[in-house]
Amino acid sequence: MRVLLLSMPDWFEHMPPVAVRMPNGALTSIAGNVDPHHEIAVADLILTQGRSRETVCRLMGELKPDVVGFSVMTFQRRTAERLLALVRELKPEAKVVVGGYDPSLAPEAYLQMPVDLIVRGEGEITFRELLRALEHGDSVDHICGLSHRKSGGWIHNPDRTVTRLENDQIKLPNRNARVLSGYTLLGRQVDVVETSRGCTYDCSFCSIIEMRGRNFHTYNFDRVLADIRDARDHGARTIFLVDDNITLNVQRFEALCRAIIQTKLNKIDYFVQAMTSAIANHGETLAPLMRRAGFRYVFLGIENILESDLEFLRAGAKNTARENGTSRGNATLKAIEYLHRNRMYVVGGLIVGNPDDTRESIEANLEFARRYVDWPYIQHPTPYPRTPMTKDFYDQGLVTNERMEEYDGTTAVVRTQHVSAEEVEYQRWRAERWMKLRHMPAAFRHDPWFVVRHAPEMFAHTFRGSTFRSVLGLEDSRKAFERYKAIRSGERDQM
Ligand code: B12
Ligand code: SF4
């Protein structure tokens, strides 16, 4: 069968396409796990800014797919709906499948859309079985993790249990299936690699637990190294390890760093997400190993520096430093110190605008970011489908915006008990632009040519809405914020 798999073009504030165009790892993984005789194409529409419709039309014409699959996050739902309608119009007989976080956690949102099938949860095996059934005209009733139309209604087959990665059931991704190019992270070609899936924590804002339960499964190192080599051989000079929580097993992570060093795969730049507690508690041995393995940016899930907010986010445990088995308070500073001492940059993940937040508590977090993080990744709590946080916000009557396309993490869609959503966002926006600017010299030292060529564009992105007058303080920055919001809204419409 001919299959076209699409990821959505929508991006969010901290990942402007001028600097970051990251592949969707789900689609190449699915492409690597279908039976080999299918013709499969993967198109990441993040690479086609402003030209997504034309690109979809072109690919539909050239590839004439029998099956079209969409990978969708919640804030991309509206774009997905528009492109689903387009695909249906272009080829009414093609089977249209949606998968990923949003269709898995909010399948009800897709029932009225021009969709034939919904893959819930992990997709590799479900999609392989689906293609087999479609090819032979068999029933799909037995395929776990699948929702399908039947006699005018929808049938939701039972969930699929999570795949154990240890037994090599999931084959390597198929990067040859990609039909578009231009992936980049600050000028270097980037790719994504998984070494594990799952997490055993249950932070209230995170979708992962509803998506797959609390568990942790790991690929063996031979497979991980083969995957890294394959990404490198396809041109990657930077690799994002997309594990939900690679730091759950620190010994394994250290062993992975050693394996990367031994196999000389440490010329690549690595990005990873980490828990502060793991870095703080094991930094003495872990951080130098990470550095030698090529890790450059570490996204730290700091979430918040105030204990009350950490409690609401259920993120206290993962941010606790320990010594001889006893708690030594917040792990963040210690983790940052280890990373800086080993010449790695800290991408500081903070969440401001929680129910009890006041202007002062938000400002305390912003001030922390100013002082300690190299690249701020500050977000607002966002009530994604079926997370515990969503229920909390609804119970407290704090959700102010239900337009899913604005659920991108940097648009405040909830208010606090004391501060309006708009004010929360304004506070973050005003502070964060300047913090981002500070990282330019470090980015320049690493990739001077890219920064020279793109600095004006990156600057224009970061400060869009501002004028010389507002930058010089001659105009109320709220006016600039209003213009920024209008520009952002226009950008969304273009996707
Ligand atoms: C890596 C990652 C990123 C990376 C790479 C994203 C990319 N290009 O794919 C970066 C850092 C860029 C990123 C950014 C963002 N991310 Co992100 N990210 C993740 C993370 C950690 C892992 C995703 C991953 O690659 N997993 C590995 C692949 C193989 O698994 P998978 O994606 O789950 O796919 C499987 C199934 O879902 C399914 N599937 C998926 N698509 C399809 C399609 C079809 C047709 C089928 C059949 C099946 C299928 O099959 C796959 C294989 O089993 C998750 C989860 C987490 N713990 O935080 C969040 C997560 C996906 N991100 C999320 C969000 C919201 C964002 C951002 C908006 C930022 C933010 N506010 O947090 C931005 C937006 C990106 C953009 N375009 O600008 C949310 C999504 C929530 C939701 N309900 O939509 C998650 C779940 C985190 C969370 N907050 O809970 N992200
Ligand atoms: S530690 Fe990370 S992956 Fe695990 S539940 Fe919390 S935010 Fe999600």
Q: Model pTM?
A: 0.97
Mean pLDDT over 182-202 rounds to 97
What percentage of the chain carries pLDDT values higher than 70?
Answer: 100
Using only the alpha carbons of the chain, give its radius of gyration.
Answer: 22
Cα separation, 481 vs 484, in Å, equals 5
- Given a cut of 90, whether residue 42 has pLDDT beyond it is yes
pLDDT at 205: 97
The closest residue, in CA terms, to atom 12 on ligand 1 is 22
Quick one: 324 exposed, middle or buried, by C-beta within 10 A (0-12, 13-18, 19+)? exposed
Q: Identity (one letter) of the amino acid at 325? A: G
- For residue range 202-260, what is the model confidence (pLDDT) as tens digits? 999 999 999 999 999 999 999 999 999 999 999 999 999 999 999 999 999 999 999 99
Query: How many angstroms is it from 73 CA to the middle of ligand 1?
Result: 7
Whether the CB of 15 sits within 6 Å of ligand 1 = yes
Cα separation, 171 vs 451, in Å, equals 37
Q: Report the residue among 27, 30, 211, 492 best suited for mutation to probe ligand 1: largest number of ligand atoms under 8 A from its CB.
A: 30
Whether the CB of 201 sits within 6 Å of ligand 1 = no
Whether the CB of 30 sits within 6 Å of ligand 1 = yes
pLDDT at 494: 79
Beta strand pairing call for 184-185 and 20-21: antiparallel
Whether the CB of 68 sits within 6 Å of ligand 1 = no
Give the confidence band of 48 by pLDDT, cuts at 50, 70, 90: very high
Q: Any idea which ligand is nearest the CA of 242?
A: 1
Cα separation, 340 vs 332, in Å, equals 12
Query: How many angstroms is it from 89 CA to the middle of ligand 1?
Result: 28
- Given a cut of 80, whether residue 325 has pLDDT beyond it is no
Mean pLDDT over 93-111 rounds to 98
The closest residue, in CA terms, to atom 3 on ligand 2 is 244
Mean pLDDT over 31-38 rounds to 98
Mean pLDDT over 43-64 rounds to 97
